[in-house]
Amino acid sequence: MTDRASALTLRQVDFAYPGDAPTLQGADLSLAPGDFHCLVGRSGCGKTTLLKIAAGLLRPTSGCVAIGDTPLDGPSRQIGFVFQTPSLLEWRTALDNVLLPVSLHRRVTASDRARAMDLLALMGIDAHANRYPCQMSGGQQSRVSLARALVTQPPFLVMDEPFAAVDAITREDLQNDLLRLTHAQGTTVLFVTHDIAEAVYLASHVSVMQSGRITRSLAIDVPDRACGNSRYHPLAIRHCETIKAALAPPIGTVAP
Protein backbone atom coordinates (compact mmCIF):
# COMPACT_ATOMS: atom_id res chain seq x y z
CA MET A 1 0.00 0.00 0.00
CA THR A 2 1.17 3.50 -0.84
CA ASP A 3 2.37 5.67 2.03
CA ARG A 4 -0.59 7.81 3.14
CA ALA A 5 1.75 10.81 3.11
CA SER A 6 1.75 10.71 -0.69
CA ALA A 7 -0.24 13.28 -2.66
CA LEU A 8 -2.38 12.71 -5.75
CA THR A 9 -1.55 15.23 -8.47
CA LEU A 10 -2.78 16.00 -11.98
CA ARG A 11 -0.66 18.34 -14.08
CA GLN A 12 -1.77 20.04 -17.31
CA VAL A 13 -4.21 17.26 -18.10
CA ASP A 14 -5.94 17.34 -21.49
CA PHE A 15 -8.51 14.83 -22.67
CA ALA A 16 -10.67 14.45 -25.76
CA TYR A 17 -12.89 11.57 -26.78
CA PRO A 18 -12.18 10.47 -30.38
CA GLY A 19 -13.80 12.84 -32.84
CA ASP A 20 -15.00 15.25 -30.13
CA ALA A 21 -13.85 18.64 -28.93
CA PRO A 22 -11.58 18.59 -25.85
CA THR A 23 -13.33 17.69 -22.61
CA LEU A 24 -10.40 18.77 -20.43
CA GLN A 25 -7.87 21.49 -21.22
CA GLY A 26 -4.85 22.05 -18.99
CA ALA A 27 -6.53 20.86 -15.79
CA ASP A 28 -4.35 21.02 -12.66
CA LEU A 29 -5.29 19.47 -9.34
CA SER A 30 -3.38 18.44 -6.23
CA LEU A 31 -4.77 16.55 -3.25
CA ALA A 32 -2.63 16.70 -0.12
CA PRO A 33 -2.80 13.77 2.32
CA GLY A 34 -6.09 13.77 4.21
CA ASP A 35 -7.76 16.32 1.91
CA PHE A 36 -11.46 16.03 1.19
CA HIS A 37 -11.60 17.78 -2.18
CA CYS A 38 -14.90 18.44 -3.98
CA LEU A 39 -15.31 19.28 -7.65
CA VAL A 40 -18.36 21.35 -8.61
CA GLY A 41 -19.46 22.62 -11.99
CA ARG A 42 -22.26 22.67 -14.52
CA SER A 43 -23.19 19.55 -16.45
CA GLY A 44 -20.72 18.86 -19.25
CA CYS A 45 -17.82 20.81 -17.72
CA GLY A 46 -15.61 17.71 -17.40
CA LYS A 47 -15.95 16.80 -13.70
CA THR A 48 -16.59 13.08 -14.17
CA THR A 49 -13.93 12.79 -16.87
CA LEU A 50 -11.37 14.40 -14.54
CA LEU A 51 -12.48 12.04 -11.76
CA LYS A 52 -12.01 8.97 -13.98
CA ILE A 53 -8.54 10.16 -14.98
CA ALA A 54 -7.63 10.72 -11.33
CA ALA A 55 -8.76 7.14 -10.62
CA GLY A 56 -6.74 5.68 -13.50
CA LEU A 57 -9.91 4.61 -15.36
CA LEU A 58 -9.07 6.90 -18.30
CA ARG A 59 -5.70 7.97 -19.63
CA PRO A 60 -5.23 11.66 -20.39
CA THR A 61 -4.53 12.73 -23.95
CA SER A 62 -1.64 14.71 -22.51
CA GLY A 63 -0.37 15.72 -19.11
CA CYS A 64 0.42 13.48 -16.15
CA VAL A 65 -1.22 11.91 -13.11
CA ALA A 66 0.87 10.67 -10.18
CA ILE A 67 0.63 9.34 -6.65
CA GLY A 68 3.65 10.80 -4.93
CA ASP A 69 6.48 10.38 -7.45
CA THR A 70 4.87 7.37 -9.18
CA PRO A 71 2.96 7.94 -12.45
CA LEU A 72 -0.56 6.52 -12.49
CA ASP A 73 -1.09 4.67 -15.77
CA GLY A 74 -4.15 2.55 -14.98
CA PRO A 75 -6.53 1.42 -12.24
CA SER A 76 -4.80 1.05 -8.89
CA ARG A 77 -5.65 -0.85 -5.71
CA GLN A 78 -4.52 2.31 -3.91
CA ILE A 79 -7.65 4.11 -5.15
CA GLY A 80 -11.21 3.14 -4.24
CA PHE A 81 -14.06 4.24 -6.52
CA VAL A 82 -17.72 4.88 -5.67
CA PHE A 83 -20.05 5.32 -8.64
CA GLN A 84 -23.24 7.38 -9.06
CA THR A 85 -25.28 4.24 -8.37
CA PRO A 86 -24.29 1.55 -5.85
CA SER A 87 -23.64 -1.02 -8.65
CA LEU A 88 -24.00 -3.99 -6.30
CA LEU A 89 -24.04 -7.57 -7.59
CA GLU A 90 -27.63 -8.73 -7.17
CA TRP A 91 -26.65 -12.36 -6.52
CA ARG A 92 -24.31 -11.48 -3.65
CA THR A 93 -25.29 -10.59 -0.11
CA ALA A 94 -24.37 -7.21 1.37
CA LEU A 95 -21.40 -8.78 3.14
CA ASP A 96 -20.15 -10.52 0.01
CA ASN A 97 -20.55 -7.30 -2.01
CA VAL A 98 -18.37 -5.50 0.52
CA LEU A 99 -15.76 -8.25 0.24
CA LEU A 100 -15.73 -8.22 -3.58
CA PRO A 101 -12.49 -6.17 -3.95
CA VAL A 102 -10.71 -8.65 -1.68
CA SER A 103 -12.10 -11.77 -3.37
CA LEU A 104 -10.98 -10.55 -6.80
CA HIS A 105 -7.33 -10.71 -5.69
CA ARG A 106 -7.09 -13.46 -3.08
CA ARG A 107 -8.97 -15.79 -0.78
CA VAL A 108 -11.15 -14.00 1.77
CA THR A 109 -10.00 -14.59 5.35
CA ALA A 110 -11.80 -14.47 8.67
CA SER A 111 -10.13 -11.12 9.42
CA ASP A 112 -11.42 -9.74 6.09
CA ARG A 113 -14.95 -10.77 7.05
CA ALA A 114 -14.54 -9.21 10.48
CA ARG A 115 -13.38 -5.93 8.93
CA ALA A 116 -16.30 -5.92 6.47
CA MET A 117 -18.72 -6.52 9.32
CA ASP A 118 -17.10 -3.71 11.30
CA LEU A 119 -17.66 -1.32 8.39
CA LEU A 120 -21.29 -2.37 8.04
CA ALA A 121 -21.71 -1.91 11.79
CA LEU A 122 -20.20 1.58 11.67
CA MET A 123 -22.88 2.49 9.15
CA GLY A 124 -25.65 0.84 11.12
CA ILE A 125 -26.50 -1.93 8.66
CA ASP A 126 -24.67 -4.97 10.03
CA ALA A 127 -28.10 -6.56 10.65
CA HIS A 128 -28.51 -6.58 6.85
CA ALA A 129 -25.22 -8.36 6.12
CA ASN A 130 -26.97 -11.43 4.70
CA ARG A 131 -29.57 -9.54 2.68
CA TYR A 132 -29.41 -9.16 -1.08
CA PRO A 133 -29.54 -5.75 -2.80
CA CYS A 134 -33.20 -6.20 -3.79
CA GLN A 135 -34.00 -6.49 -0.07
CA MET A 136 -32.36 -3.17 0.85
CA SER A 137 -33.32 0.48 0.43
CA GLY A 138 -31.34 2.86 -1.76
CA GLY A 139 -29.62 4.37 1.27
CA GLN A 140 -28.66 0.95 2.58
CA GLN A 141 -27.24 -0.01 -0.82
CA SER A 142 -25.21 3.22 -0.86
CA ARG A 143 -23.75 2.32 2.53
CA VAL A 144 -22.77 -1.14 1.22
CA SER A 145 -21.11 0.53 -1.79
CA LEU A 146 -19.13 2.86 0.49
CA ALA A 147 -18.05 -0.03 2.73
CA ARG A 148 -16.94 -1.96 -0.38
CA ALA A 149 -14.75 0.96 -1.46
CA LEU A 150 -13.14 1.22 1.99
CA VAL A 151 -12.71 -2.45 2.90
CA THR A 152 -9.15 -2.64 1.54
CA GLN A 153 -8.29 0.66 3.28
CA PRO A 154 -7.15 2.48 0.13
CA PRO A 155 -5.25 5.73 0.74
CA PHE A 156 -7.43 7.47 -1.89
CA LEU A 157 -11.15 7.42 -2.61
CA VAL A 158 -12.84 8.99 -5.65
CA MET A 159 -16.60 9.41 -5.66
CA ASP A 160 -18.92 10.43 -8.51
CA GLU A 161 -22.13 11.97 -7.11
CA PRO A 162 -22.73 8.89 -4.94
CA PHE A 163 -25.67 10.32 -2.98
CA ALA A 164 -27.58 12.02 -5.80
CA ALA A 165 -30.34 9.39 -5.99
CA VAL A 166 -31.34 9.27 -2.31
CA ASP A 167 -33.69 11.51 -0.36
CA ALA A 168 -32.40 14.59 1.47
CA ILE A 169 -32.50 13.12 4.99
CA THR A 170 -30.70 9.92 3.91
CA ARG A 171 -28.17 12.03 2.02
CA GLU A 172 -27.28 13.95 5.17
CA ASP A 173 -26.86 10.69 7.10
CA LEU A 174 -24.62 9.29 4.34
CA GLN A 175 -22.53 12.47 4.31
CA ASN A 176 -21.95 12.10 8.05
CA ASP A 177 -21.05 8.40 7.64
CA LEU A 178 -18.59 9.29 4.91
CA LEU A 179 -16.87 12.01 6.94
CA ARG A 180 -16.59 9.78 9.98
CA LEU A 181 -15.19 6.77 8.10
CA THR A 182 -12.71 8.63 5.89
CA HIS A 183 -11.46 10.66 8.85
CA ALA A 184 -10.96 7.49 10.88
CA GLN A 185 -8.93 5.88 8.08
CA GLY A 186 -7.05 9.02 7.03
CA THR A 187 -8.43 8.64 3.51
CA THR A 188 -7.83 11.34 0.88
CA VAL A 189 -11.07 11.95 -1.05
CA LEU A 190 -11.94 13.43 -4.45
CA PHE A 191 -15.72 13.91 -4.64
CA VAL A 192 -17.82 15.17 -7.58
CA THR A 193 -21.15 16.84 -6.84
CA HIS A 194 -23.65 19.25 -8.37
CA ASP A 195 -24.78 20.24 -4.87
CA ILE A 196 -22.87 23.30 -3.65
CA ALA A 197 -24.11 22.93 -0.06
CA GLU A 198 -22.98 19.30 -0.03
CA ALA A 199 -19.53 20.33 -1.27
CA VAL A 200 -19.15 22.99 1.42
CA TYR A 201 -20.32 20.63 4.17
CA LEU A 202 -17.97 17.80 3.18
CA ALA A 203 -14.88 19.45 1.81
CA SER A 204 -11.65 20.87 3.08
CA HIS A 205 -11.22 22.27 -0.45
CA VAL A 206 -13.66 22.98 -3.30
CA SER A 207 -12.60 23.45 -6.93
CA VAL A 208 -14.88 25.01 -9.54
CA MET A 209 -14.74 23.58 -13.07
CA GLN A 210 -15.78 25.37 -16.22
CA SER A 211 -15.23 24.26 -19.83
CA GLY A 212 -12.69 21.59 -18.95
CA ARG A 213 -10.59 23.75 -16.64
CA ILE A 214 -10.40 24.35 -12.91
CA THR A 215 -11.08 28.07 -12.67
CA ARG A 216 -11.12 28.57 -8.91
CA SER A 217 -10.18 26.66 -5.76
CA LEU A 218 -11.24 27.57 -2.23
CA ALA A 219 -10.13 26.32 1.18
CA ILE A 220 -13.20 25.55 3.30
CA ASP A 221 -12.88 26.06 7.04
CA VAL A 222 -16.28 26.04 8.73
CA PRO A 223 -16.49 25.75 12.54
CA ASP A 224 -18.36 22.90 14.26
CA ARG A 225 -18.09 20.45 11.35
CA ALA A 226 -17.07 17.65 13.72
CA CYS A 227 -20.31 17.88 15.69
CA GLY A 228 -22.52 18.30 12.62
CA ASN A 229 -23.52 21.91 13.29
CA SER A 230 -21.85 23.51 10.28
CA ARG A 231 -24.49 23.07 7.56
CA TYR A 232 -26.14 26.44 8.19
CA HIS A 233 -23.24 28.30 9.74
CA PRO A 234 -22.96 31.84 8.29
CA LEU A 235 -19.48 31.07 6.98
CA ALA A 236 -20.80 27.99 5.16
CA ILE A 237 -23.52 30.11 3.57
CA ARG A 238 -20.92 32.66 2.44
CA HIS A 239 -18.81 29.89 0.92
CA CYS A 240 -21.88 28.67 -0.98
CA GLU A 241 -22.52 32.17 -2.31
CA THR A 242 -18.89 32.53 -3.41
CA ILE A 243 -18.97 29.22 -5.28
CA LYS A 244 -22.32 30.02 -6.89
CA ALA A 245 -20.90 33.33 -8.12
CA ALA A 246 -17.83 31.53 -9.52
CA LEU A 247 -20.13 29.21 -11.48
CA ALA A 248 -22.10 32.06 -13.05
CA PRO A 249 -21.57 32.32 -16.84
CA PRO A 250 -19.73 35.39 -18.11
CA ILE A 251 -21.88 38.44 -18.82
CA GLY A 252 -23.42 38.16 -22.30
CA THR A 253 -23.46 34.35 -22.38
CA VAL A 254 -26.29 31.93 -21.70
CA ALA A 255 -25.89 29.12 -19.18
CA PRO A 256 -26.30 25.63 -20.66
| Residue 83 domain flag | no
Q: Residue 251: its pLDDT value, please?
A: 52
74 and 161 fall within a common domain: yes
Quick one: pLDDT at residue 1?
A: 41
Distances (CA, A) of 67 to 38, 55, 146, 187, 246: 18, 10, 22, 14, 29
**Position 5 confidence tier, pLDDT thresholds 50, 70, 90:** low
- Answer whether residue 51 shows pLDDT above 90: yes
| Residue 216 belongs to some domain of the structure | yes
Domain tally, the chain: 2
C-alpha count within 13 angstroms, C-beta hemisphere, residue 44: 4
Residues 211-248: tens digit of each pLDDT: 889 999 898 887 666 555 677 788 888 888 999 999 88
The answer to whether residue 1 is domain-embedded is no
What mean pLDDT value characterizes the chain? 87
Residues 69 and 163 in one domain: yes
The answer to the question of residue 241 being in a domain is yes
Q: What is the pLDDT of residue 2?
A: 46
Q: How far apart are CA 234 and CA 85, in angstroms?
A: 32
Q: Which amino acid is at 65?
A: V
Contact yes or no for 31/187 (Cβ under 8 A):
no
Q: Where are the beta strands (DSSP E) in 17-145?
A: 24-31, 36-41, 62-67, 70-71, 79-82
pLDDT class of 205 with cuts at 50, 70, 90: very high
Span 140-156, average pLDDT: 90
In sequence order, what are the residues at sequence separation of 6 or more whose Cβ sits closer than 8 angstroms to the Cβ of residue 103?
A: 96
Which CATH number belongs to the domain containing residue 181 in this structure?
3.40.50.300
Residue range(s) defining the domain that contains residue 112: 89-153
- Name the burial class of residue 197, with classes exposed (0-12), middle (13-18) and buried (19+) by CB atoms within 10 angstroms of its CB: middle
* Residue 202 pLDDT class (50, 70, 90 cuts): very high
199 and 72 within one domain: yes
Position 132, amino acid: Y
Confidence class of residue 185 from pLDDT cuts 50, 70 and 90?
confident
- For the stretch 55-72, what's the b/e string if a residue is b when 16 or more beta carbons lie within 10 angstroms of its beta carbon? bbebebeebebbbbeeeb
- Per-residue confidence (pLDDT) for residue 237, from 0 to 100: 87
Boundary (domain end) residue, out of 97, 130, 153: 153
Assess whether 34 and 147 both reside in one domain: no
Q: Are residues 108 and 192 in the same domain?
A: no
Rg over CA atoms, the chain? 18
Give the residue-averaged pLDDT of 120-149: 90
Residue 230's CB is within 10 A of a number of other CB atoms, namely 17
- Quick one: what percent of the chain has pLDDT higher than 90? 41
- Residue 84 inside a domain? The answer is no
